[in-house]
Structure 1
Amino acid sequence: MAGTTVADDGLVEAAFSRAAQELGVEPGSPEHARHLDHVRATMGESKITVFRTLFGTEERARRANAAFERAYAGLVDSGVCAPLPGAEETIGRLRAEGRSVVLTTGFSRTTQDAILAALGWQDIADLTLCPADAGRGRPYPDMVLTALLRTGTESVRQIAVAGDTAYDMLSGVRSGAAVVAGVTTGAHAAPDLRAAGATHVLGSVAELPSLIPEPAR
């Protein structure tokens, strides 16, 4: 979602900085810079997994994750969350063509629901998934395969995955999706997306429908 269909505008980094400060990592410190580099490199991964790597113990990781979720929800509620240009129209077009659209995220269900509510997107997609719904988050293929099962899709080769991070690309490749499209509106640049296995690199998710043949009528 963030960076692919939803404008991020630095919300993840801002929320992380607030969470890290609660755990004693001061903004501007070398430790904060190292942590922020890791957050940027792992955009798209389940956030609790990121915090486990950064803070070592499960208790500290859960504290950091809870602080991050509170901070992000507060930023979303402040009205800075917005759809990326063409995202709503693209989702509407795909569904009008008879395709199932599933929105996935590395955030928790609580944060995902807050984003959907802020945008008025509660009914925009056929299904929304977070890591807890599938078992594991990206770069594992679990959310893509859960989407396949829950939408009744017949084959992984009928799936198109779109995302703005290298972890999105890895997840799509590992699932066997026919189209794994990287978009350059978010965290990672075209070379990173290609290196992670993107079959296509797009300037916007609005270009996605043109990659997919229209379904037989």
Structure 2
Amino acid sequence: MTPAPRPGVLFDVDGTLLDTNYLQVLAWWRAFRDTGHDEVAMADCHRSIGIGSQELVTHLLGDDADDVDEVMAAKSRRYEPLRELVTPFPRVDDLLAACRDRGLAVVLATSGEESDLEWMVPAIGGEDVVDGTTCSADVESAKPAPDLMQTAVEAHGLDASRTVAVGDTVWDVRAARDAGLPCIALTCGGISRAELLEEGADEVYDDPADLLASLDDSLIGKLVRD
């Protein structure tokens, strides 16, 4: 017998659970310069974080860019030595555990690569509380397309009517909206509250600790009450 769909929370990782966005910006900026694209500014990179890697390159260079793979490879090389600087935001592990304790499935939905999950999950202390993961390898189009979130819901047996997405960029909000999911946004990734609300975020908090402090009054708490 197929188990009944579960209520759940889809968490983005970069910039939402891990304080990585500005490290990602530096790696992308260096990668673009390594491949001859000096016109791409750090601000351009920052405002594109949250998009899948291939989509990020074409977003900044145009759909006719002929060196997408080279830029992506350069970014991987540049980011590798920065990984030792990655830290989780305060109380991330407590937030995930609190969601799980309330009977909610905890699923990571990241535009990152499958190999990234090997270090991301331990970094957030999620080995015992994460029910599943979905990454760019599982979909044809990463964020801002809704595919990642739709696939996460289907693959992990979630009830779409009782699932909330949590992210930190306008791309996360857009993907959630197009997937038909409510979205909680966090400003710890460097995007302003006003922009996140304008894009359609249902609630905005400062960071995981702020969301945890208001968890029972948030959309996540509403999942439990309903």
> Which TM-score band applies after superposition, normalised by the shorter structure?
0.7 to 0.9
Q: CA deviation at 1:104?
A: 2.0
What residue number does 1:213 align with?
Answer: 222
Matched, 1:101 2:111: no
Equivalences for 1:138-217 in 2 at 5 Å?
138-154=143-159, 156-177=160-181, 179-206=182-209, 207=211, 209-210=215-216, 211=218, 212-213=221-222, 215=224
Count of paired positions: 207
Consecutive unaligned residues of structure 1, counting only runs of 5 or more, are none
Question: How big is the alpha-carbon RMSD for the aligned residues of Structure 1 and Structure 2?
Answer: 2.3
4+ residue stretches of structure 1 with deviation over 6 A? Answer: none
Of 128, 131, 139, which residue of structure 2 is paired with 1:134?
139
Distance of 1:145 and 1:66 partners within structure 2: 28
2:75 matched to 1:68? yes
Residues 1:32 and 2:37 are matched in the alignment:
no
Judged with a 3 Å threshold, the aligned counterparts in structure 2 of structure 1 residues 41 and 114 are, in CA distance, closer, same or farther, namely same
Q: How far apart are 1:13 and its partner, in Å?
A: 1.3
- The answer to whether the 8 A contact 2:49-2:56 is kept is no
Does the residue aligned with 1:64 lie in a helix, a strand or coil?
helix
CA contact (8 A) 1:73 1:111 kept: no
1:8-87 equivalence runs, <5 A: 8=20, 10-26=22-38, 31-33=39-41, 36-56=42-62, 57=64, 59-76=66-83, 79-87=84-92
Q: Is the 8 A contact 2:162 2:223 kept in 1?
A: no
**Are 2:31 and 2:72, in contact at CA under 8 Å, matched by a contact in 1?**
yes
Three-state SS of the structure 1 residue aligned to 2:222 is coil
Question: Alpha-carbon deviations, 1:96-130, whole Å to 9, x = none?
Answer: 22211111222222234333355554554111221
Task: State the 1:214 CA deviation.
Answer: 6.0
**If the length of structure 2 is used for normalisation, what is the TM-score?**
0.82
The percent identity for this pair of structures is: 25
Which ranges in structure 2 are unaligned for 5 or more consecutive residues? 1-12
Structure with higher RCO (Cα < 8 A, 6+ apart)? 2
